[in-house]
Amino acid sequence: HLQDTTTLHNGVKMPWFGLGVFKVPDGDTVVQSVKAAIINGYRSIDTAAVYGNEEGVGQGIKEALDETGLSRGDLFITSKVWNDDFGYESTLAAFETSLQKLGLDYLDLYLVHWPVEGKYIDTWRALETLYKEGKIKAIGVSNFNIHHLESLLKHAEIKPMVNQVEYHPRLTQKELHEFCKEHGIQLEAWAPLMQGGLFDHPTLQEIATNHQKSVAQVILRWDLQNGVITIPKSTKEKRMIENASIFDFELSENEMKQIDALNENHRVGPDPDNFD
Ligand code: NAD
């Protein structure tokens, strides 16, 4: 079911599926996208300070709640602290700015956007403070490799609940996923559709035809069956509905293996070990 959740290690429930809004312009486009998603059953929205669209996301949430009669508690809203704001005090301030732009009084999930060397530990301490104050229901990281997590875990009082990383059939992150599982850290996929670069793949097309589904649906279903949260981006209502229609079919073990085998450790985004 579209609103199914996974339980994070602190007991908070997070939807398996949501909408990403990277590169969706602030203003009407993001307002209408967020609104359309929620009206069509989405409950989770993934934004970030650096996307520059938190105000529009907030407006979309407000309009969707008015229109659907849902309440804030029915939604799961994620944002991220950007690299320029890293450090203890500046992260606390950046969080307040995000909250204000979103027009919310708490976040469901707040992430350290990138593992900026020498800075992410202090940033993490700020997230721990905000979490303890009840201003964030769950805290996590993004783009952390195993060595970043190991170093964070040495200093952290609270273990991250989520690690959001680039993840798609060409970048299956097997070791990182195993490490996260061992530590109770939920993996979340960004660029699950490889930003549009996988739709012509013959293996994926064949599997899609077998199930009378689209390639997008096959990839997103593969995420779920691998136990990975997924947040595909679209601004088009038709595609949002398509992307969410993945709870009525199942990939076979063999099909899962075929898709896993497409891995080439290929990134479309920056490498977390070398992104400056
Ligand atoms: P994505 O893999 O979700 O691909 C989005 C692209 O695919 C868009 O161009 C869209 O038009 C197209 N698309 C979507 N559904 C389609 C369909 N059914 N048929 C055909 N085309 C379709 O890429 P993304 O937006 O980079 O990633 C998803 C989300 O992950 C982002 O919006 C953002 O919220 C998050 N993200 C996080 C980070 C990070 O550093 N933490 C980085 C990038 C993205």
106-118 confidence digits (pLDDT tens) = 999 999 999 999 9
Output the residue whose Cα is nearest ligand 1's atom 35: 190
192-232 confidence digits (pLDDT tens) = 999 999 999 999 999 999 999 999 999 999 999 999 999 99
ipTM of the complex: 0.99
Residue 33 Cβ inside 6 Å of ligand 1? The answer reads no
Output the residue whose Cα is nearest ligand 1's atom 24: 191
| C-alpha to C-alpha distance for 76 and 250, rounded to whole angstroms | 26
Q: Does the pLDDT value for residue 276 go beyond 80?
A: no
Contact 16, 4 (CB under 8 A): yes
Output the residue whose Cα is nearest ligand 1's atom 38: 190
Q: Characterize the bridge pairing of strands 76-81 and 162-166.
A: unpaired
- Count of alpha carbons within 13 angstroms of residue 36, beta-carbon side: 20
Q: What are phi and psi of 275, to 5 degrees?
A: -120, 5
Residue 190 Cβ inside 6 Å of ligand 1? The answer reads yes
Q: What is the pLDDT of residue 137?
A: 98
Helix (H) / strand (E) containing 244: helix 237-244
| C-alpha to C-alpha distance for 250 and 197, rounded to whole angstroms | 23
Residue 142 Cβ inside 6 Å of ligand 1? The answer reads yes
Residues 6+ apart with CB under 8 A from 182: none
| C-alpha to C-alpha distance for 241 and 251, rounded to whole angstroms | 20
Residues 6+ apart with CB under 8 A from 258: 203, 207
Mean pLDDT value of segment 84-100 = 98
Q: What is the DSSP letter of 51?
A: G
Residue 269 Cβ inside 6 Å of ligand 1? The answer reads yes
Output the residue whose Cα is nearest ligand 1's atom 7: 196
Q: What is the pLDDT of residue 275?
A: 85
Q: What is the DSSP letter of 194?
A: G
Q: Does the pLDDT value for residue 1 go beyond 80?
A: yes
| C-alpha to C-alpha distance for 98 and 249, rounded to whole angstroms | 38
Q: What is the pLDDT of residue 70?
A: 98
| C-alpha to C-alpha distance for 150 and 191, rounded to whole angstroms | 24
Contact 121, 153 (CB under 8 A): no
Contact 240, 36 (CB under 8 A): yes
Domains along the sequence of the chain with CATH: 5-260 (3.20.20.100)
Contact 191, 268 (CB under 8 A): yes
Q: pLDDT over 70 for what percent of the chain?
A: 100
CA 230 to ligand 1 centroid distance, Å: 10
Burial of 239 (0-12, 13-18, 19+ CB in 10 A): middle
Residue 237 Cβ inside 6 Å of ligand 1? The answer reads no
Q: Ligand 1 pocket: which of 29, 165, 193, 221 to mutate (most atoms <8 Å of CB)?
A: 193
Residue 22 Cβ inside 6 Å of ligand 1? The answer reads yes
Q: What is the pLDDT of residue 84?
A: 97
Mean pLDDT value of segment 30-47 = 98
CA 172 to ligand 1 centroid distance, Å: 16
Mean pLDDT value of segment 137-143 = 98
Among candidate residues 42, 51, 110, 131, the one labeled active-site is 51
CA 183 to mean position of chain CA atoms: 19
Three-state DSSP at 8 gives coil
| C-alpha to C-alpha distance for 53 and 46, rounded to whole angstroms | 11
Contact 164, 192 (CB under 8 A): no
Mean pLDDT value of segment 1-12 = 97
CA 215 to ligand 1 centroid distance, Å: 14
Three-state DSSP at 127 gives helix
Q: Which amino acid is located at 266 in the chain?
A: H
Q: Does the pLDDT value for residue 16 go beyond 90?
A: yes
44-58 confidence digits (pLDDT tens) = 999 999 999 999 999
CA 3 to ligand 1 centroid distance, Å: 19
Beta bridge partners of 168: 171
Helix (H) / strand (E) containing 180: helix 174-182
131 is catalytic: no
Q: What is the pLDDT of residue 79?
A: 98
Q: Which numbered atom of ligand 1 lies nearest the CA of 47? A: 34
